[in-house]
Amino acid sequence: MRRYHAFDPPEYVDWSPDPETMLEFSRAIERDPERARRIADLTAQRRLEIYAGLLRFRLHDIALKRWVRQGVISKAWLGTGEEATTIGPVHALERGGPNGDVVGPMIRNAGACHEMGMPVADMLRGYLATEDSPNRGRDLHVGGRRYGIVTPISMVGALAAVIAGYGLGFRKLGTKRLALTWVGDGATKAGEVHEAFNLAATQRLPVIFIIQNNQVALGTRLEEHHAADGFAELGRLYGATGAPFDGNNVLDAYAATHWAAEICRAGEGPVFLAAETFRMSGHATHDEKEARELFSEEEFASWGRRDPIGCYGAWLVNGRLNLETGAQCEPGAATGVNSAALEEVEARVTEEVESAAAEALAGRARMPRPESAVEGVYGTWPESGRQEKDRF
Ligand SMILES: Cc1ncc(C[n+]2csc(CCOP(=O)(O)OP(=O)(O)O)c2C)c(N)n1
Ligand SMILES: [Mg+2]
C-alpha cells in the first residue's frame, strides 16, 4: 500500500515485511485445521475483497485525519492498526442488508459500516453533521437498518445489551440470523456489558462478542484496569464458547468468526472471541502525543511490524494462489501478478474514498434546520416523516 507520510503511523512509513513476523502470520492461520480449512476455501476474489476492505478502512481514516489537519472537523476517532479485527469478522457474516446478520460497530469499528454496504460518503457526512448525513447531523456515530448496522451511541458498553436483544429477537423469530458486536477492553468493565454477556450465555443467543483488546482504554493501560490474564477465558467463565484470535491477522479474524457464526446458527451461541491488537494512534486525533508517551517505543515498534495491511498484503503477494487466475502455485511464483492485482485494488479503493470525501464536502453548506432536532425522536415519531425502513 502506498504510504502517507503525514498521516501514517511512523512505523508504517518505512514498513517492509519482517521475516519473523511473517512466519508468525503464517503459523497463526495454519495452527488450527478448522480455521486453515476456512481460509483455504477463500477464493482469489474474496481475498482481494478483504484486502480492499482493509484499505478502505485505512483510507477512510486518512481522509478524516486530513480534514482534521485542514480544520474541516475538530477531531476524529480512528482504527489505525486495528483494521483486521473489524474487517475479517464482517467478511465472515451473511451480509444481506435488512435481512442478513447485524453488526453493532463502536467508533473503532467504522470499517464495519462500509463493509456492510454503507457508502463511504455517508460515513464521512456523519462527521460533517450535514443535513444529508445518515442521522441528519445528530451524531457522528452512523448506521442504518437497510445495511444491517445498528447505529451506536457513544456510551461504551451500551451496544452489548442492544446486540443481545437482537440475538433474542432473531431467536424468537426462528431465523438463522446472528448479531455481532465489538467490546473494547475498557468497555468490558461497564456493568451492562456483564448483563448482556450473561443474558446471551444463559439464553444461548446467536450473538458473537468480539473483545477488542487494543491494550488501552482512553489514557489507561490495560494492566491498570484489568487484573486477569487477557480475555481468552471469558466465554468459558460465562458458560459459553470462546476462543482467541490474532487481531492483526485478518485471516485469523475471518476464520474465527466464520467458525463462531456456524456455532450461533446451530443454536449453540453465544461465542466470545478475544482479539489481541494495538491502537497505533491516540484515542482520537487530539491525544496522539500522549498516547505515544503511554507505551514504549519498543511496544510501538513491535506492533508496527505486525501492521495488518502490510502483513496481509505481503502474504497475498508471495502466497500460493495466483490472484489473477485463481490457480494454486508454488509460494512466490505469482509475485508479480499478485502485486499488480493488489495495486489495481488500491487504485480503485483510493479513487472511491477520494470521490466520497469530495461528495461529502459538497454538501457542507447544507446544515440541518435547528427545529429538526426534535423530529424523528421517540416523542415525535412517526409524524416527522421518516420511513419505517430507517427505524431501529
Ligand atoms: C459509559 C461511558 N463511560 C466513559 C466514556 C468515555 N470513553 C469513551 S471511549 C473510552 C475508552 C474505551 O476503551 P475501550 O473500551 O478499550 O475502547 P477503545 O477506545 O480502546 O477502542 C471512554 C472511557 C464513554 N463514552 N461511555
Ligand atoms: Mg481499548
Cα 142 from chain centroid?
14
For a substitution probing ligand 1, which of 86, 139, 154, 218 has the most ligand atoms within 8 Å of its CB? 218
Among 258, 209, 250, residue whose Cα is nearest residue 84: 250
State the maximum Cα–Cα separation within the chain, in Å, rounded to a whole number: 64
Residues composing the chain: 392
- 188 C-beta closer than 6 A to ligand 1: no
Q: What is the pLDDT of residue 392?
A: 41
For a substitution probing ligand 1, which of 83, 106, 140, 156 has the most ligand atoms within 8 Å of its CB? 156
Atom of ligand 1 nearest to the CA of 107: 21
Mean pLDDT by 10 residues, the chain (392 residues): 96 97 97 97 98 98 98 98 98 96 97 98 97 91 95 94 98 97 98 98 98 98 97 97 98 98 98 98 96 97 98 97 96 94 98 98 94 78 56 44
CA distances in angstroms from 198 to 166, 192, 194, 201, 346, listed in the order given: 15, 10, 6, 5, 42
How many whole angstroms from 190 Cα to the centroid of ligand 1? 9
Task: Tell which CATH classification among 3.30.470.20, 3.40.720.10, 3.20.20.70, 3.40.50.970 matches the domain 15-362.
Answer: 3.40.50.970
Q: What is the pLDDT of residue 387?
A: 56
How many whole angstroms from 185 Cα to the centroid of ligand 1? 9
Beta bridge partners of residue 207, listed in sequence order: 179
How many whole angstroms from 352 Cα to the centroid of ligand 2? 30
Three-state secondary-structure class, residue 144: strand
φ and ψ of 275, to 5 deg: -100, 130
Among 157, 159, 158, 139, residue whose Cα is nearest residue 149: 159
Atom of ligand 1 nearest to the CA of 188: 15
Q: Kindly state the cell numbers that stand for 176.
A: 438463522
How many whole angstroms from 183 Cα to the centroid of ligand 1? 10
CA–CA dist 318, 160 (Å, integer): 39
Matching residue, cell 512505523: 11
Among 80, 125, 123, 87, residue whose Cα is nearest residue 103: 87
Matching residue, cell 488501552: 216
Cα 356 from chain centroid?
19
Matching residue, cell 494462489: 321
Q: Kindly state the cell numbers that stand for 36.
A: 486453515
**Tally of CB atoms within 10 A around 5:** 9
**Burial annotation 300-316 (CB, 10 A radius, 16+ → b, else e):** beebbbbbbbbbbbbbb
Q: Which amino acid is at 181?
A: T
SS3 content of the chain, % helix, strand, coil (to 5): 55, 10, 40
Atom of ligand 1 nearest to the CA of 184: 15
Structure pTM?
0.96
Matching residue, cell 504510504: 3
Contacts for 334 with CB less than 8 Å, ≥ 6 apart: 319, 321, 322, 323, 324
φ and ψ of 29, to 5 deg: -95, -10
Q: Kindly state the cell numbers that stand for 151.
A: 447505529
Atom of ligand 1 nearest to the CA of 213: 16
Beta strands 102-104 and 220-221 are unpaired
Q: What is the pLDDT of residue 377?
A: 77
How many whole angstroms from 217 Cα to the centroid of ligand 1? 6
